[in-house]
C-alpha cells in the first residue's frame, strides 16, 4: 500500500502537469496567493484579530476608525473599522470565507448538474440530447444575474420568514443553476468524441451498463476541460455572489461576505470613509485574479496543442 502511494506521489511529481507548474512563475505565485486566501478564510476564527460576528465584542465608539497608518487610527484595527465598529481586516477574513464557501459550493453544484446532463446528452444522443441542449440554449439567453435574482425572489416569496437562514443555500442554488450550461456543452462535445472510441465500444461488448460506461469510462476522460472551467468558474461565482450581495439579495449583513462589505462601505464612500469599501474590494480582486491565473495556467498545461 505504501509502495503504491509512493508510486502515485512520484508519478504526480513527475507528471507533465507538475512539471509545467514548476516552470510557470505565474502559476506558482497565483497558487501561493490563493492558498493564503483559502488559509486565512478557513482559519479565520483563529487568525482574525477580532470576531466581527460576536456582538459582545462590538463597541460603537470604535466605529469608522481609519486604518492604523492614518491619524486617528488604532493599531488593534489595522485596516480600520466600519460603522458598527467591526474590524475591517477581520471582516475580510470572515467575508472571504463566506465568499469562498458560496463560490465553491455553487461551482460543485453547477459542475455536478452540468457534467451529468452533458454526459447524458452526449452519450445517449437523439431526443434526450436535443431536449437538454435546447433547454441550455434557452437558459443562455437569460443573463446569469437575472436567473439568480429570479430564484432568489421566488425563494423570498415562498419562505418569507426563513430567508436569512436559507440565504446561503439560495445563493448557491441561484449561482449554480445559472452556470451548468457551460459544463454541459463542453462535456457533451468531448463525450461524443469519446463514445465512438474503441475502448467504449469494447466496454459495450462486455455488457457493461450504459450508466457505468458513462461514469467509469467516459467521465474520467472528459474531466480535463471541466477542471479548467471549474477553476475559472469559482472566480466568476465569487463575483456573482459579490454582485448579488451588493444588490442586497445575498447573505445578510450580520454575516457579511465580501460583496456585502463592499455594499456597506459604499454608503460611506462619499463621506470620506473609503477604507470600508476599498479593502474588501482589493481582497476580492486579489482572490479572483489568483484563481483566474491558476485557471489560465491549467488550461494551457492541459492543452496538448500548446505543449
Max alpha carbon distance in the chain (Å)? 77
Cβ distance 114 to 181 under 8 Å?
yes
Cβ distance 45 to 39 under 8 Å?
no
Looking at the Cβ atoms of 23 and 70, the one nearer to other proteins is 23
Whole-angstrom Cα distance, residue 67 to residue 78? Answer: 5
Chain mean position to CA 203: 35
> Of residues 275-294, which lie at the interface with other proteins (CB under 8 A)?
none
Q: Does 307 bind other proteins (CB under 8 A)?
A: no
Whole-angstrom Cα distance, residue 12 to residue 20? Answer: 12
Q: Does 154 bind other proteins (CB under 8 A)?
A: no
Segment near other proteins (CB under 8 A); pick from 153-161, 196-204, 227-235, 251-259:
196-204
Please list the residues that pair with 306 across neighbouring strands: none
Looking at the Cβ atoms of 61 and 127, the one nearer to other proteins is 127
Q: Which residue has the cell 479572483?
A: 288
Q: CA-based Rg of the chain, rounded to a whole angstrom?
A: 23
One of 203, 227, 278, 289 touching other proteins (CB under 8 A): 203
Looking at the Cβ atoms of 133 and 167, the one nearer to other proteins is 133
Looking at the Cβ atoms of 204 and 267, the one nearer to other proteins is 204
Q: Does 220 bind other proteins (CB under 8 A)?
A: yes
One of 84, 128, 221, 292 touching other proteins (CB under 8 A): 221
Backbone angle region of 158, left / alpha / beta, with phi > 0 → left and psi within -120 to 50 → alpha:
alpha
Q: Does 126 bind other proteins (CB under 8 A)?
A: no
Q: Which of 132, 110, 230, 107 is nearest to 188 (CA)?
A: 132
Local structure of 81: helix, strand or coil? strand
- Cell numbers placing 268: 460611506
One of 201, 254, 266, 303 touching other proteins (CB under 8 A): 201
Q: Does 208 bind other proteins (CB under 8 A)?
A: yes
Q: Does 19 bind other proteins (CB under 8 A)?
A: yes
Q: Does 46 bind other proteins (CB under 8 A)?
A: no
One of 206, 271, 272, 304 touching other proteins (CB under 8 A): 206
Q: Does 198 bind other proteins (CB under 8 A)?
A: yes
Q: Which of 44, 50, 55, 53 is nearest to 65 (CA)?
A: 50
Whole-angstrom Cα distance, residue 279 to residue 284? Answer: 9
Local structure of 68: helix, strand or coil? coil
Q: Does 227 bind other proteins (CB under 8 A)?
A: no
Segment near other proteins (CB under 8 A); pick from 163-171, 176-184, 214-222, 286-294:
214-222
Residue 67 is given by DSSP the state P
Residue 118: CB minimum distance to other proteins, A = 18
Backbone angle region of 125, left / alpha / beta, with phi > 0 → left and psi within -120 to 50 → alpha:
left
Q: Does 131 bind other proteins (CB under 8 A)?
A: no
Looking at the Cβ atoms of 18 and 70, the one nearer to other proteins is 18
One of 75, 160, 207, 304 touching other proteins (CB under 8 A): 207
Q: State the residues that interact with other proteins by CB under 8 A.
A: 7, 19, 197-199, 201-208, 210, 217, 220-221
Amino acid at each position: 500500500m505504501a509502495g503504491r502511494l509512493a508510486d502515485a506521489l512520484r508519478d504526480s511529481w513527475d507528471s507533465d502537469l507538475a512539471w509545467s507548474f514548476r516552470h510557470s512563475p505565474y502559476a506558482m505565485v497565483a497558487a501561493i496567493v490563493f492558498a493564503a486566501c483559502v488559509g486565512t478564510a478557513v482559519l479565520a476564527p483563529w487568525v482574525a484579530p477580532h470576531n466581527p460576528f460576536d456582538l459582545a465584542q462590538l463597541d460603537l465608539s470604535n466605529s469608522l476608525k481609519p486604518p492604523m497608518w492614518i491619524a486617528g487610527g488604532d493599531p488593534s484595527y489595522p485596516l480600520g473599522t466600519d460603522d458598527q465598529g467591526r474590524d475591517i481586516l477581520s471582516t475580510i477574513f470572515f467575508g472571504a470565507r463566506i465568499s469562498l464557501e458560496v463560490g465553491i459550493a455553487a461551482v460543485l453544484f453547477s459542475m455536478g448538474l452540468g457534467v451529468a446532463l452533458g454526459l447524458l446528452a452526449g452519450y445517449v444522443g437523439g431526443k434526450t440530447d436535443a431536449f437538454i441542449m435546447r433547454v441550455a440554449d434557452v437558459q443562455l439567453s437569460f443573463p446569469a444575474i437575472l436567473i439568480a435574482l429570479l430564484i432568489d425572489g421566488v425563494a423570498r416569496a415562498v419562505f418569507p420568514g426563513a430567508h436569512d437562514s436559507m440565504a446561503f443555500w439560495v445563493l448557491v442554488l441561484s449561482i449554480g443553476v445559472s452556470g451548468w450550461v457551460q459544463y454541459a456543452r463542453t462535456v457533451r462535445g468531448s463525450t461524443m468524441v469519446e463514445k465512438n472510441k474503441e475502448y467504449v465500444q469494447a466496454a459495450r461488448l462486455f455488457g457493461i451498463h450504459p450508466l457505468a460506461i458513462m461514469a467509469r469510462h467516459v467521465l474520467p476522460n472528459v474531466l480535463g476541460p471541466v477542471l479548467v472551467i471549474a477553476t475559472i468558474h469559482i472566480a466568476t461565482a465569487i463575483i456573482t455572489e459579490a454582485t448579488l450581495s451588493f444588490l442586497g439579495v445575498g447573505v445578510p449583513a450580520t454575516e457579511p461576505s465580501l460583496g456585502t462589505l463592499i455594499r456597506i462601505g459604499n454608503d460611506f464612500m462619499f463621506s470620506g470613509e473609503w477604507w470600508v469599501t476599498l479593502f474588501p474590494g482589493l481582497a476580492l480582486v486579489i482572490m479572483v485574479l489568483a484563481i483566474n491565473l491558476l485557471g489560465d495556467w491549467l488550461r494551457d498545461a492541459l492543452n496538448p496543442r500548446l505543449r
